[in-house]
Amino acid sequence: MTCLIKGCNFVLKNIPHEAFVYQKDADPEFRFQTNHPHIFPYLLVNIGSGVSIVKVETEDRFEWVGGSSIGGGTFWGLGALLTKTKKFDELLHLASRGQHSNVDMLVQDVYGGAHQTLGLSGNLIASSFGKSATADREFSKEDMAKSLLHMISNDIGQLACLHARLHSLDRVYFGGFFIRGHPVTMRTITYSINFFSKGEVQALFLRHEGYLGAIGAFLKGAEQDNPNQYSWGENYAGSSGLMSTSPELGPAQRARSGTFDLLEMDRLERPLVNLPLLLDPPSYVPDTVDLTDDALARKYWLTCFEEALDGVVKRAVASQPDSVDAAERAEKFRQKYWNKLQTLRQQPFAYGTLTVRSLLDTREHCLNEFSFPDPYSKVKQRENGVALRCFPGVVRSLDALGWEERQLALVKGLLAGNVFDWGAKAVSDVLESDPHFGFEEAKRKLQERPWLVDSYSRWLQRLKGPPHKCALIFADNSGIDIILGVFPFVRELLLRGTEVILACNSGPALNDVTHSESLIVAERIAGMDPVVHSALQEERLLLVQTGSSSPCLDLSRLDKGLAALVRERGADLVVIEGMGRAVHTNYHAALRCESLKLAVVKNAWLAERLGGQLFSVIFKYEVPAE
Amino acid sequence: MSKSFFPWFGLDIGGTLVKLVYFEPKDITAEEEEEEVESLKSIRKYLTSNVAYGSTGIRDVHLELKDLTLCGRKGNLHFIRFPTHDLPAFIQMGRDKNFSSLHTVFCATGGGAYKFEQDFLTIGDLQLCKLDELDCLIKGILYIDSVGFNGRSQCYYFENPADSEKCQKLPFDLKNPYPLLLVNIGSGVSILAVYSKDNYKRVTGTSLGGGTFFGLCCLLTGCTTFEEALEMASRGDSTKVDKLVRDIYGGDYERFGLPGWAVASSFGNMMSKEKREAVSKEDLARATLITITNNIGSIARMCALNENINQVVFVGNFLRINTIAMRLLAYALDYWSKGQLKALFSEHEGYFGAVGALLELLKIP
């Protein structure tokens, strides 16, 4: 029991989109919950052979409040006796094809048409198996299995509601191996909970329902190490998705996992927390578009990632020219990621809410699995070299401009720098074909104002006012972006008297700049520029890691150190640049302080969706409402 | 004096059984007898001189209430039941015996009152007066409890229910009936909270009821009657079928106070082929009975807790001749509530709805 609860607390806190609500006729059917910071108290109904009901009040305080002997074992046992079917999943499969009304006595069977007197709907089951007490009929396996499933699910739902009511709880999580993401089961349980609680209690399922005990046992064993001091993430490469063992799936998808599920979790070295500047952490959802919801977008992005696969594989091989088996590993990566994409085509909900972020992250996890932790490292180094050489010149020409002109040039510099993103097909096509495509050209080619989203005038106005106390900047790409775009912008802020916290990825992703790379770049720039040099010395310019290794940004899971610094320095301006961090995620994020979200839209489809064209500019300056 | 014409019937048409109460007047004067219509006389004779009707009708003679006074008339109250399946035959009989000419009103409750209303009209030329089944249930119980059972108590409980030797059925004086949790176990189950004669509510119900027990038994054992199912169950060993706490933990699960003998998973042993082949029909029947009964007890207990009621009365024909279930309910309720809840039973368990219907006929409040 202790292990069960430990495991449940763990998955609820650490795996994004672990819990979900299932609504049969809604689209999408699965609605995933973001990790609410306050998960307690809750009722856990664990359905194994039998049913255990546990009230969980805090991490360490929980109580077994009841149970039922009518659970998975009953379904399997009675099912085997009645239908001669030996396998659990086969029973579920039979049930999904059955008509329970042939076996059950419904209210309308007892009342004929008029059943309002009892206040019950005619379709309700009055007596399970009520019609089977007769020798003159045979009942089909499918019908009996369905009846059995309803009987058990309804009973469990009812008991759960009675306990929820007694303890004044409104959320019930279901764990255990009975449910297995099976739509019929989830539908019946959800219906049952709604019915018996008159809609007041919510039924939530867990993607990793069957692992709770095992995870708990592991955590207990690892107690010395204090696992709770770490943060954890789900590794999409090593984890099979929801329903991966469902008999409904085609053989291709089941090939790897066979008859069992896999869960792989990455332990992150440093704990992750909310950004203190989020306006309302419990309601914060990083992703801009829910691909489980938006079928058109989903189809587009899945195809996009499929088509980009060749390029990614080539890049991976090229990044390790001295390795004997790079080609072999790259092919394995291709196969693996391809299969993931196909799984997601069939079951978009396999890993929770499907988003561009999860597609990007899955790709990174797969690359890592086949020992391609940083395929762009050489590209980044080369571009950093080129950019550093151009740095003094860029700064000189900026300093020569008048104040107002310079502000625009700095912003354009940021935007132009952001064009240099190997992640975007449109850009990598150009960069592949024209290696001399330079910064100046990029600036010239930038969209003319008014931009697609254009709050520059308000930003300029703001700049005429007092300087910000401290700016938190989330950087995007290596090379031209960070060196010729971000650093001059940072330099200007420093000159105004604003402190700067420059946050970069903890681990590599595409050609995004990492924290360790940023340290090197900063040092090189400090060697060329006294402003940056003294800021670093006097700790007015601080370089931190975000805690993320993704091309996107989840502001609810940031490095604890970063959060502490933000509070300490009283950061009052947040700057987020790039498509991954400012458009695919956080486009609608609400902060408690001023924010700038900048990006050049390097995807034609997305640009069109937003109402513009390829290479449209987004410059979003927001001030919180009073 | 009631304005109702004889015969006085109360009908409760349930999912599986039709319950009929018939008031046999014993104070018929010579004059009355003279004027009595032939069909009425023959009905009275037919009902009172037989204990079985057709192949499936039964009169529960042991439940007959003697010397009852109803609306100023003295007589005996008879309790008759037959399967709902045979209702068409009953209606046909009504037609053959010309019931409709008696101008009597048929007060009927239960779902069947609605379902078969048309049939009564078109085939039997009989107008049904339809009544709410829960209203009738409450009325019926309160009335029967008030008149007692031929001098004995209607209501009883079990002392030492788990001990076969020491178990005793003892009368219970329901002097403070309110509040009461009433669990009516028919084909399905309804649970009512009763606060006063006129104040009650349906708390919940469950579809795992008598019909489930009987239905599953038929499928698993091939039995054909309720009596047969119970008889098999009485000879079976459910522990061969169910997985107990001790089968998983080797003993008690002390941390949560779960005794080794508690069932962890009903039919849990049936996941294994060997075990499936080793159990008998009797074992299966027993396990079905235990499973359904325990579940009802569990739900009843939770409702009692939520509603703050500590007297639980179990009625309904599932409990007819079903001492195993009654003792199990008594024990389980007592054990899991640590003695806070009391399980009570009633001699006329399945007939209250029909009695209530009769009382409506006679406009007895």
User: Residue A161: pLDDT above 50?
Assistant: yes
| CATH number belonging to domain B8-136+351-362 | 3.30.420.510
pLDDT tens for B128-180 read: 999 998 999 999 998 998 888 888 888 999 999 988 889 999 999 888 889 99
Cα radius of gyration (chain A) = 28
* Nearest CA among A172, A171, A179, A212 for reference residue A9: A212
Specify the pTM.
0.76
Using the beta-carbon criterion (under 8 Å), do B212 and A127 form an inter-chain contact? yes
Average pLDDT of every residue of chain B: 91
* Nearest CA among B332, B337, B113, B307 for reference residue B204: B307
Q: Look at residue A288 and tell me if it is in a domain.
A: no
**Protein fold of B155-237+280-346:** Nucleotidyltransferase; domain 5 (3.30.420)
CA distances from B12 to B128, B277, B347 (A): 12, 42, 17
Burial state string for B36-58 with b = 16 or more CB within 10 A and e = fewer than 16: eeebbeebbeebeeeeebeeebb
Where is pLDDT greater, at B23 or A439?
B23
Decide which of A222, A250, A276 is a domain's last residue.
A222
Q: Sign of the C-alpha dihedral, residues A550, A556, A559, A564?
A: positive
Using a 10 angstrom Cβ sphere, with 0-12 exposed, 13-18 middle and 19 or more buried, the burial of residue A21 is: middle
Q: Look at residue A89 and tell me if it is in a domain.
A: no
Query: Does any CB of chain B come closer than 8 Å to the CB of residue A176?
Result: no
To test the contact with chain A by mutation, choose from B133, B266, B269 the residue with the greatest count of A C-beta atoms within 10 A, namely B266
Whether A447 and A473 share a structural domain? yes
Using the beta-carbon criterion (under 8 Å), do A69 and B202 form an inter-chain contact? no
* Nearest CA among A149, A217, A216 for reference residue A179: A149
Q: Look at residue A235 and tell me if it is in a domain.
A: no
Q: How many domains does chain A have?
A: 3
pLDDT tens for B178-219 read: 999 999 999 999 999 999 988 999 999 999 999 999 999 999
Q: Do domains B8-136+351-362 and B155-237+280-346 have the same CATH topology?
A: yes
Whether A204 and A302 share a structural domain? no
Residue B190 β-bridge partners: B184, B205
Whether A457 and A358 share a structural domain? no
CATH of the domain at A464: 3.40.50.10880
Whether A498 and A612 share a structural domain? yes
For residue B2, name the pLDDT band (cuts at 50, 70, 90). low
DSSP string covering A421-465: -TTSHHHHHHHHH-TT--HHHHHHHSPPSSPSEE-HHHHHHHHTS
CA distances from A243 to A7, A236, A275 (A): 20, 15, 34
Report ipTM for this prediction.
0.90
Whether A189 and A62 share a structural domain? yes
Decide which of A370, A393, A412 is a domain's last residue.
A370
Mean pLDDT value of segment A529-537: 96
Whether A444 and A578 share a structural domain? yes
Cα radius of gyration (chain B) = 22
So which residues of B are the catalytic ones? 133
pLDDT of residue A226: 67
SS3 B83: strand
Q: Which residue of B has its CA nearest to A150?
A: B207
User: Residues of B with CB below 8 A from A66's CB?
Assistant: 298, 302
Q: Look at residue A481 and tell me if it is in a domain.
A: yes
SS3 A345: helix
Domain ranges in chain B are 8-136+351-362, 155-237+280-346, 242-278
Q: Look at residue A115 and tell me if it is in a domain.
A: no
| CA–CA min distance A77, chain B (Å) | 4
Whether A349 and A397 share a structural domain? no
To test the contact with chain B by mutation, choose from A69, A121, A163 the residue with the greatest count of B C-beta atoms within 10 A, namely A69
Contacts (Cβ under 8 Å, ≥6 apart) of A474: A503, A504, A546, A553, A574, A575, A576, A577, A581
Interface of A with B in 137-156 (CB under 8 A): 139, 144, 151, 154-155
Whether A347 and A470 share a structural domain? no
CB of A231 closer than 8 Å to CB of A549: no
Among B112, B248, B269, beta carbon nearest to A77: B269
Whether A428 and A525 share a structural domain? yes
Whether A357 and A479 share a structural domain? no
Whether A21 and A50 share a structural domain? yes
Decide which of A222, A246, A275 is a domain's last residue.
A222
Whether A329 and A432 share a structural domain? no
Query: Does any CB of chain A come closer than 8 Å to the CB of residue B201?
Result: no
Using the beta-carbon criterion (under 8 Å), do B256 and A112 form an inter-chain contact? no
Least confident range from B120-129, B235-244, B251-260: namely B251-260
Using the beta-carbon criterion (under 8 Å), do A118 and B202 form an inter-chain contact? yes
Length of chain B: 365
Using the beta-carbon criterion (under 8 Å), do A70 and B291 form an inter-chain contact? yes
Q: Which residue of B has its CA nearest to A63?
A: B256
Distance of CA A32 to the CA centre of its chain: 10
Q: Look at residue A266 and tell me if it is in a domain.
A: no
For residue B340, name the pLDDT band (cuts at 50, 70, 90). very high
CATH of the domain at A340: 1.20.1700.10
**Structural domain range at position A346:** 295-370
